[in-house]
Amino acid sequence: MAEAAVIALNTQLKKLGNASSLHSAGRSVRKDLEAAREGIAKAITCEASEVIFTATGTEANNLAVKGLYWKGVKENKKVIITSTFEHHAVMDPIVWLAEHEGAQVVGINVDSKGFIKLDELKQAVSEHAGEVALISIMHANNEVGSIQDIAQVVAIAGQIPVHADCVQSFGKVELSFKKLGLTAATISAHKLGGPLGVAALILKKGLDIEPVLHGGGQERDLRSGTFNAPSIVSFAAAATDAQANRKVREQTVRGLKRELIQSIKKSVPEAQVNGDLEKSLPGIVSITFPKTDSEGLLLLLDAEGIACSTGSACSAGVQRPSHVLMAMGLSEDETTSTLRFSLSHLNTINEIARLGSVIASVVARSKAASGKK
């Protein structure tokens, strides 16, 4: 967590009062909460009234996808357009709507670098004119980091509501809700140095969608529940800190990313970088190590004090191919030989050097154990 977020959280935890209460303690907390709302609105350039707090990015995605779909159904619009490599927090609610609510899903393919095919999107919008409830395309992919041209997506959509999962990109690269012209966007605190368990849906003002939770009527009656004021205030502190330092940090992290790739390629020449290095998030690198097992690689690196991710969904200990990498054209074998490395401005060149010094032996051991040919 960012130091500013830790200080804000600790300070707010000591304050008594429910932000929905009318007594002086409650009003004091509410004042802090609304100041936090304004801080987050400033960081993503939207109106304060457009910030709806949730517990997680997954909840915010569910609220956006289901809420916009149910609103569309009232106008006989049952088509959802999305990409083939969305995060599960978007993909799974859409699958649920298809299975339980009769939604018709149109998946837009991506190219080998992880960018959606805009011609396919144009065709889908044209073919289903007047039937589309919403379009949901993530701003930046969580496994390969590719950044989509959301402004172009919005332009193609016309009057169709567009939602973007911006959890990975908020605070890391330039992101303006107002400039992009989005209907809805999802952001989360823990990706930019804030606490776990607090996120937000940015929803265009004046737009009423169907809520997923019902209760006390908080957050424009769209997300009922007692406010987690300490985490919300901490979220705002982290967002303000990230936005103030974004350009410098982005440059630093991109430098570390280049160093990491060079270091790995020097030790393991056959390693393949997935995605585009320039039109991508500064700190996410997806690398395939042919004929290895990614789970084994992860554990071997963990034993060396290096944390990374397989970038694939794991269920009950069973490794599954990454739908993101499969959508980009990788084989099942290649997806289960791939690791995702995540960097921040707090990482150092020495840590990259440490990875470079052990990666060759780790890959050799994984190859010997994997049985892949």
Pick the CATH number of 246-370 from 3.60.21.10, 3.90.1150.10, 3.30.1050.10, 3.40.50.300: 3.90.1150.10
232 alpha-carbon distance from chain centroid: 18
Listed by start position, the domains of the chain span 3-244, 246-370
Query: What pLDDT score was predicted for residue 273?
Result: 97
Lowest-pLDDT range, 14-23, 82-91, 229-238, 336-345? Answer: 14-23
DSSP reduced 3-state for 108? strand
CATH number of 3-244: 3.40.640.10
Write out pLDDT tens, residues 131-159. 999 999 999 999 999 999 999 999 999 99
**Averaged pLDDT for residues 328-354:** 96
Between CA 171 and CA 250 the distance in angstroms is 9
Query: What pLDDT score was predicted for residue 372?
Result: 77
Active site residue 314: yes
Query: What pLDDT score was predicted for residue 320?
Result: 79
Q: Is the pLDDT of residue 317 over 60?
A: no
Query: What pLDDT score was predicted for residue 371?
Result: 77
Write out pLDDT tens, residues 79-125. 999 999 999 999 999 999 999 999 999 999 999 999 999 999 999 99
**Averaged pLDDT for residues 153-176:** 98
Asked whether the beta carbons of 136 and 157 are under 8 A apart, the reply is no
Query: What pLDDT score was predicted for residue 318?
Result: 59
**Averaged pLDDT for residues 334-350:** 96
pTM for the whole structure: 0.94
The percentage of the chain sitting over the pLDDT mark of 70, rounded to a whole number, equals 98
Lowest-pLDDT range, 52-66, 243-257, 279-293, 308-322? Answer: 308-322
**Averaged pLDDT for residues 244-261:** 97
Catalytic residue among 46, 166, 308, 314: 314
Paired sense of beta strands 314-315 and 318-319, if any: antiparallel
Query: What pLDDT score was predicted for residue 61?
Result: 98
**Averaged pLDDT for residues 177-205:** 97
Paired sense of beta strands 104-108 and 79-83, if any: parallel
Q: Is the pLDDT of residue 319 over 70?
A: no
Residue 348 sits at φ, ψ, to 5 deg, of -130, 165
Between CA 224 and CA 54 the distance in angstroms is 9
Asked whether the beta carbons of 139 and 147 are under 8 A apart, the reply is yes
